[in-house]
Amino acid sequence: MAGLELVPHPTLRAPRGPVCLVVMDGVGLGPPDAGNAWHLARTPFLDRMMTGPLVGSLRAHGRAVGMPTDEDMGNSEVGHNALGAGRVFDQGSKLVGRSIASGRLFEGETWRWLLEACRAGGTLHLIGLWSDGNVHSHLDHVDALVDRAIADGAARIRLHALLDGRDVGETTALEYLAPAEAKLAELRAAGHDARFASGGGRMQTTMDRYEADWRVVERGWRAHVLGDARAFDSASEAVRTFRSEQPGVIDQNLPPFVVRGPDGAPAGPIRDGDAVVFFNFRGDRAIEITRAFETPADQPFPFERERVPEVRFAGMMQYDGDLGLPRRFLVSPPVIERTLGEYLARSGVRQLAVSETQKFGHVTYFFNGNRSGAFDAALERYVQVPSDRVDFWQRPWMKAAEITDATLEHIDAFEPGFVRVNYPNGDMVGHTGVLRSAIIAMEALDLSLERLVRGVLDRGGVLVITADHGNCEQMVERDKKTGALVAGESPEGYKASTSHTLNPVPVAILGAEGLRWDASVPEPGLANLAATCLNLLGFEAPADYERPVLAMPDKETT
């Protein structure tokens, strides 16, 4: 495509082997304390790596990755967007908040289309992650939708709460449900038929991604659509009961449930003529449930849906522009174009992307600017290692060894110029809140990463090793006033933390002898690495990309 060809760098030449961008998912830089899994783990390779000459830290949260404020955690979506785009784009939460505040969301065609169904007798169903974690959703957005729907004449509203405990405290569900139940009671007292209908923990109900386990979506479908799950008189009662029956269970793992209405029947199965909004703004865990609603009943599907209601379905945003999922959405997603991957494809550079299922879409879809598929299939190879279908604290090594095997194998077979790899251990195990497992996860990562580094360097390559956000370096909650670790019921005597962090992330560049860190780059972030990789590949970076973190030599370097 004209205008997307890269210009050779005046003083840098590509190495003999590939330039390899390695993402240690969820591995930030935190205090070396009793809650830091990296600090507690035996990681001799990583420890040596962090003493090298081309080592630094990057901002991976807040405004540095397009979030509304610097109090907002980074996440894998925005982190990989920044890594691949080389620039910072306003992300979902910020775009949705702005659209609500300006009123544009409610003036749009999709909102009017949804409310037509409600005024004609249909129920408005709102499904999504029930927290203010601001990674997949935010309850402020839900409040605004409910208030405006009532003002616009919606006769019935049903809420389907996917409980978090992952982007927020691991057992905070009741803190989010109780105020909502109080508000719904006030609305009913004022004559508005609004109540909870179903829910469940996000890792058990509805929010699967990358087709890792369609059973998660099936459980959600049965609860939300068919009204088929264990029934309770309230969402809070469901949480309290599950906790009493499964001591130690955390919110993300709670089973699906339905809420009974006044007549004792499920309060809100989704039926023909209803309107449905999936209010998550992030796409990876929204695509499969979107497909369940938008795939016609007479077409094959990964699970038996039994009944496919004719509804008006919309997403908070469009989750996949290439696939057109969903067809209707309330807020337009960021338009991310001219990514690193696209520039390389148009310039004839072979690319390899490798991860296991849980993060495969991060090094493909998110890295490519929320785009499915390759820019040039002949020049790109995407390799997915199937993830285990278990709670990852039970398999903290995950597929780190297999990812390394696959990467080196395909480097030899495909001879790519640029490679991107994601090791999910720090994030996926960090989210479980099990410190002992997170320590093992870091040790497994250390072993596999050392083997990958040796293999790439032996092949004449260069590595840029970083992370997309923090997680496993802060496995214990901190007192917000004092910063002290909070005591709790974990085996170590602390209250576990399962969320991402606000910490910076490491970056280390190996195999780039003769180059030096550019100390003049102010507060570099993840977006600065795209230009860095392009320079290491022997190309000038586009003028609007964030600056590289390496100073460029005056004389030609290979």
- On whether the CB atoms of residues 340 and 419 are closer than 8 A, the answer is no
- On whether the CB atoms of residues 422 and 23 are closer than 8 A, the answer is yes
469 closest CA partner among 137, 135, 28, 56: 28
Number of residues written out for the chain: 558
Strands 257-259 and 230-232: what pairing? parallel
* Alpha-carbon 235 to chain mean position: 26
Give whole-number Cα distances, 239 to 172, 231, 252, 495, in Å: 10, 12, 11, 19
- On whether the CB atoms of residues 24 and 446 are closer than 8 A, the answer is no
286 closest CA partner among 397, 342, 208: 208
CA distance 407 to 556: 30
Residue 63: both structure tokens together: 């405004």
121 closest CA partner among 275, 314, 279: 275
- On whether the CB atoms of residues 463 and 22 are closer than 8 A, the answer is yes
Instruction: From the candidates 76, 137, 490, 497, give the one annotated as an active-site residue.
Output: 76
For residue 376, the 8-state DSSP code is S
- On whether the CB atoms of residues 390 and 417 are closer than 8 A, the answer is no
Q: Is 76 labeled as catalytic in the residue annotation? A: yes
Residue 116: both structure tokens together: 């037509």
CA distance 60 to 525: 6
CA distance 356 to 211: 12
Q: Strand, coil or helix: what is 384? A: strand
91 closest CA partner among 75, 114, 111, 71: 75
- On whether the CB atoms of residues 106 and 134 are closer than 8 A, the answer is no
- On whether the CB atoms of residues 517 and 54 are closer than 8 A, the answer is yes
Secondary structure (DSSP) of 18-51: -EEEEEETT-----SSTT-HHHHS--HHHHHHTT
155 closest CA partner among 202, 192, 206: 192
Scan for tokens 């995950």, then name that residue. Answer: 398
Secondary structure (DSSP) of 495-548: -B--S--S--EEEEEES-TT-EE-TTSSS-BTTHHHHHHHHHTTBPPPTTSPPP
- On whether the CB atoms of residues 117 and 268 are closer than 8 A, the answer is no
CA distance 405 to 391: 23
Q: Any idea which residues carry the catalytic annotation?
A: 76
